[in-house]
Amino acid sequence: MGKKLYRLKYMVDAKDFINHLLKKNINFFTGVPDSVLKNFITYLSFNKKKNFIHRITTNEGSAISLGIGYNLSKNKVPLVYFQNSGIGNAANPLYSLADKRIYSIPMILLIGRRGYPRKNDEPQHYRIGEITTKFLKILNIQSIVLNKKNYKSQINNAKKIALKKLAPVALVVPMNFFNKLKKEKNGNKKKLEIRYEYLKVILKNKSKKDAIISSLGNVSRELFVLNEKLNFDHSKTFYSIGAMGHANQIALEVSFNKKNNTTFILDGDGAIQMHMGNLITIGKNSKKNITHILFNNKVHESTGFHQLANDKIDYKMIFKACGYKKVFYIKRTLELDRILKRKPKGLIAIIIDILPGTIENLPRPTKKPDQLKKSLNL
């Protein structure tokens, strides 16, 4: 990858953490990027030694399944990582396949704990933060909350338990556990524009009765900032701040109430990949005007600019195969402006190559979800 890493502040060194896992003969890593595990994943992604296997997946259930496949074929303990919000996606293969009463698969789950303690995070993470260890207990998975002083012995213990019980064991990672790493920035060789500039164009061209359903992460934060800056109310905008990959299904059902107006879906490539089957549902059932905009920056931006499971997908072909009436592929805000000025009808997709990143010091929304819901009129 050719990117230098700099250690800025010592907490638990991601390199030391991974090296200890390797010493314990744990050398298969798979999962979905998470901000709590950002530096752990960054080290895995940019390490040139390749003395381990690392696979980023589209969703947590897929990661568990890869881990199962690795154990069945290699008879070794895999490590599967993800954010605690992904436990729901991971649950099905955990209890229906990996459970000790089914196929008895020993594996280590490395779970980043967002939303705990409550005061240090966003509202959408509070509930899962509170119940993370309880949720794991319901799934009959023993959990160990890591601490910085004893993490090596905790890793050793987790592997022993997994092999003894022939079952998954979870290592729960608190926020601010790993040391901070900084990557050198690459120049914008393709002269692409950031998503924020495209959002301005969308808001300029939408009518007052059009609805916008935005995916989680920076797209919703940027959209909120722009609505406030332009003095627009939030009644026609739903910020899907959680449930990665499901914003487009919310939008599909909202569209049936829009008569001749348009429902805009603002999606990210990581969200699309997580639940790509949703496009089939949209293509089959859409009867109204839907403009599905896919911001394609080829990374999981909000978790630390980690690579996607696959950054070379032909989205245009996929949208067409799923039944979208028209599909546009663009790289400039001027192109988006021309398309939206024509007020396209039916089910269309617009794929936009964008530069990863956002505006400087992007603020968090100043209104809570319950406040925004009260003003909704979709």
Burial of 165 (0-12, 13-18, 19+ CB in 10 A): middle
Confirm whether 108 is domain-assigned: yes
The whole domain housing 235 covers 195-375
**178 and 219 inside one domain:** no
**168 and 207 inside one domain:** no
- Count of structural domains within the chain: 2
Confirm whether 224 is domain-assigned: yes
Select from 126, 148, 182 the last residue of a domain.
182
**153 and 202 inside one domain:** no
Burial of 8 (0-12, 13-18, 19+ CB in 10 A): exposed
The first and second tokens of residue 364, run together, are 């968090």
**286 and 331 inside one domain:** yes
Bridge partners, residue 273, by sequence? none
**302 and 369 inside one domain:** yes
| pLDDT of amino acid 225 | 95
The first and second tokens of residue 132, run together, are 């993370």
**169 and 306 inside one domain:** no
Confirm whether 190 is domain-assigned: no
| pLDDT of amino acid 24 | 97
Q: Distance between CA 215 and CA 295 in Å, rounded?
A: 10
**345 and 203 inside one domain:** yes
| pLDDT of amino acid 58 | 95
CA 84 to mean position of chain CA atoms: 12
Q: Distance between CA 16 and CA 113 in Å, rounded?
A: 20
Convert 247-256 to b/e letters by CB count within 10 Å (16 or more is b): bbbbbbebbe
| pLDDT of amino acid 189 | 52
Q: Which amino acid is at 56?
A: I
Select from 182, 214, 240 the last residue of a domain.
182
Mind listing the pLDDT tens digit of every residue in the chain (378 residues)? 344 443 444 589 999 999 999 999 999 999 999 999 999 999 998 877 778 999 999 999 999 999 999 999 999 999 999 999 999 999 999 999 999 999 999 999 999 999 998 766 888 888 899 999 999 999 999 999 999 999 999 999 999 999 999 999 999 999 999 987 665 454 455 678 999 999 999 999 999 999 999 998 899 999 999 999 999 989 999 999 888 999 999 999 999 988 789 999 999 999 999 999 999 999 999 988 999 999 999 988 888 888 888 889 999 999 999 999 999 999 999 999 999 999 999 999 999 999 999 998 898 888 888 899 888 888
Domain containing residue 68: CATH number: 3.40.50.970
DSSP 22-64: HHTT--EEEE---STTHHHHHHHHH-SS--SEEEE-SSHHHHH
Confirm whether 178 is domain-assigned: yes
| pLDDT of amino acid 10 | 53
| pLDDT of amino acid 37 | 96
| pLDDT of amino acid 161 | 98
| pLDDT of amino acid 184 | 46
**12 and 160 inside one domain:** yes
Confirm whether 188 is domain-assigned: no
